[in-house]
Chain A
Amino acid sequence: MNEITGLMRKKAKELLEKGVVERVIGWEKGMFFYSTTPVVIDKPEETEKLVWDDFAINNLAIYLLDKQNKEKKVALFVKGCDSRGVVRMIQDKQVKRENLYLIGVPCPGLKDPKTAVRGYYKDAGQVPKAKKCQECLHPNPVLYDEMLGSPVEEPQQIDRFAEVRELEKKSTDEKYAYWKEQADKCLRCFACRNICPACSCPECIFDCSKPRWLDKEVSTVQNQFFHMIRMWHVADRCIECGECERVCPAGLPLMQLNRKLLKDINELFGPYEAGMDLEQRPPLTQYDTGDPEEFM
């Protein structure tokens, strides 16, 4: 057992025993060496389930939106990305800060169980770092009540818009062909939406039946519409955790869409990263007289 796992269990037990929180959300070990999955714990004696290892990759912030967790006092373990998801939810008044006890875990970069599956790798050491973690700029939690372990060094050399810049070089027709091909792969399983900490609407436009904005028909046009709307709805809320792209069973490059809009936002409104600071409002939710208005 690693040191962080030990500290997690101890802390979770203490919080539940003292009644500081009613519930702890963390990760537990699954059936395979590469499965580490979210777990909800209500009893002090069950805190022994908690683990921290290479595969604790799921962003736990989404569980704060669950009906059964919303009104409870909850302790949540947060990596950099989880904590940014929480910041966004607090800013959107989806969760109350006073209901949360955030335990920060500096993140060394994790591994994706979907890469490890199918027996190519025999142990965790052989599995490469997940794509989303290779792209991560903020592995240390940005909001926490206490931190387990010491902060890791933050990477400096990552150009988060490199892929978008490459795509922008394509002609309009090439871009259309590329995105049509992607849309055609989509199964509309909604894993990208449901795993997303920025998708926090209690009723989603895609589930609305009166009127039905998105047809249930799975076709190029409907899939394009779905992805277009999804990307705009998370435009300045996307915390770049990469969960949508990681869980997509069809392998759609969804972070390219999200980062395209973030790049535009950065160019229009100045440097911005969602969920870094409780006081910084997302550019599209505020108005400033200095905002560019060339489109007017």
Chain B
Amino acid sequence: MKAVPKDKLPALLEELSKEGDLYVPSQAGEMSRFVPWKRDVKLDLEHNTTMSPKELLFPQTEVIYNYKFGEENTVEPPSPGSDKIILFGVRPCDVQAIRCLDEVFLTRTYVDNYYQEKRDRLIIISLGCTAAEDTCFCKDMGVNPVEAEGADIVIFDLDGEYGFEAKTDKGKEIAKKLSSFLEETNKEKPAAPSFSLEVNSEGIVEKLQKMFEHPIWEEVSQKCICCGTCTFLCPSCHCFDINSKNIDATKGFKYRTWDACVFDDYALMAGGHDVRPSKVERIRNRFLHKLQFFQERYGLFLCTGCGRCLRECPVGTNIAAFINRLEEVTVDG
């Protein structure tokens, strides 16, 4: 396997930044996120970021088109970018989340141009995990914590150097350009880290299919305050709302913003009917989407076990604890 000595990493990133817009995980105040790489940006490769990298593919606010009206009405979509988007240090749970987003935005019936335009330019350099935090449970949600499936390049922390393995054609092309930084190493890939949190996701799809009317939803939703912390930090949540804004009497723009299925007005329809009138239905929808519906449609869990919602939920709602509680639930037939 190839490897880059740790002291050469800044030079490698500098070289990488010539290939496109490079984003790296960095701590900024209380919040960490993927930020544009600059020489003085302090990398945080110890912990996963508070904000997931989804904001680079699917921004919180995104213009769909600009419009003008008057004698002639015009509609103009935003001009597409041209540079590559290179994400460095994405954790396997977040790579898996991008696979989920790919399914939603790029497969079956409709292709989302806005997502596709960025996705085509994306190169994912994943950092395999050598340690799991107490809130990590990716391995139980179908994720390989060391070698991220779907990444273009995977790097491994091998003490003093980073193992470097190109997985896709895009990744190999980048590796070629970085070859002067890479040396041969005889170190082995790291073993999967040990997890203190164990989640039993086996058979939960079949079980949940019979639990739509189960009293458990009332219980797990009681403490929810219906804020958007879990959905906005979630690397795979992808609901959005579309609005428009008039800048003045002759022009404006249509845009989309992240929405959250736990918000009070999420399922409120024109005419005033709300199909999910209370938080019981909202939490049920969120958990079933993560653990049942997405599996049925795409064969993947929409929860990748990153643990962000466990860490940040203001009232301690814990989807991992919910999954484990399902073991105690008995359903008819």
Contacts and interface: CB of A to CB of B under 8 A. Distances in A.
Interface of A: 30-32, 35-40, 58, 62-63, 67-68, 113-114, 117-119, 185, 187-191, 193-195, 207, 209, 212, 215-219, 243, 246-247, 249-251
A267 B315 CA distance: 35
B187 to A, nearest CB: 26
Nearest to A41: B222
Contact of A189 (B241, B260, B310): B260
B228 A188 contact: yes
A251 B320 CA distance: 25
Contact of B316 (A35, A187, A188, A194): A35
Given A215-B245, A218-B61, A250 B316 contact: no
Given A39-B223, A67-B278, A195-B225, A217 B316 contact: no
B29 A251 contact: yes
B276 to A, nearest CB: 14
Given A40-B223, A187-B60, A194-B226, A119 B134 contact: yes
B253 to A, nearest CB: 9
A185 B233 CA distance: 13
B232 A189 contact: yes
Contact of A117 (B134, B225, B258): B134
B179 interface: no
B47 A217 contact: no
B31 to A, nearest CB: 5
A40 B227 contact: no
Interface residues of B, number: 41
B311 interface: yes
Contacts of B226: 194
Interface string B260-290: 1001110000000000001000000000000
Contact of A31 (B47, B225, B312, B318): B318
A191 B134 contact: no
Contact of B245 (A31, A114, A217): A217
A185 B31 contact: yes
Nearest to A30: B316
A134 B36 CA distance: 36
Given A187-B228, A191-B228, A216-B257, A32 B222 contact: no
A222 to B, nearest CB: 9
Contacts of B264: 207
Interface of B: 29-31, 47, 50, 60-61, 133-135, 197, 222-223, 225-229, 232-233, 241, 243, 245, 255, 257-258, 260, 263-265, 278, 310-312, 314-318, 320-321
29 contacts: A30-B321, A31-B318, A37-B317, A38-B222, A38-B223, A38-B315, A117-B134, A118-B47, A118-B133, A119-B134, A187-B60, A189-B260, A191-B229, A194-B226, A207-B264, A207-B265, A215-B243, A218-B60, A218-B61, A218-B257, A243-B314, A246-B314, A247-B227, A247-B229, A249-B229, A249-B233, A249-B312, A250-B31, A251-B30
Contact of A217 (B134, B229, B257): B257
Contacts, number: 109
Task: Please report whether the interface of chain B is mostly helix, strand, loop or mixed according to DSSP.
Answer: loop
B222 A40 contact: yes
Nearest to A36: B316
B138 to A, nearest CB: 16
A217 B61 CA distance: 6
Nearest to A212: B243
A187 B231 CA distance: 11
Contacts of B265: 207, 209
B101 to A, nearest CB: 18
Given A118-B133, A189-B260, A62 B225 contact: yes
A37 B31 CA distance: 23
B239 to A, nearest CB: 13
A118 B136 CA distance: 10
B61 A219 contact: yes
A189 B263 CA distance: 9
Residue from A35, A39, A191 with most neighbouring chain B CB atoms (10 Å): A191
A251 B134 contact: no
B320 A31 contact: yes
Contacts of B134: 32, 117-119
Nearest to A252: B30
A119 B257 CA distance: 34
A31 B243 CA distance: 40
The residue in B60, B315, B321 that gathers the most chain A C-beta atoms within 10 A of its C-beta is: B315
A204 to B, nearest CB: 8
A211 B60 CA distance: 22
A114 B229 contact: no
Nearest to A33: B134
A68 B217 CA distance: 14
A193 B134 CA distance: 29
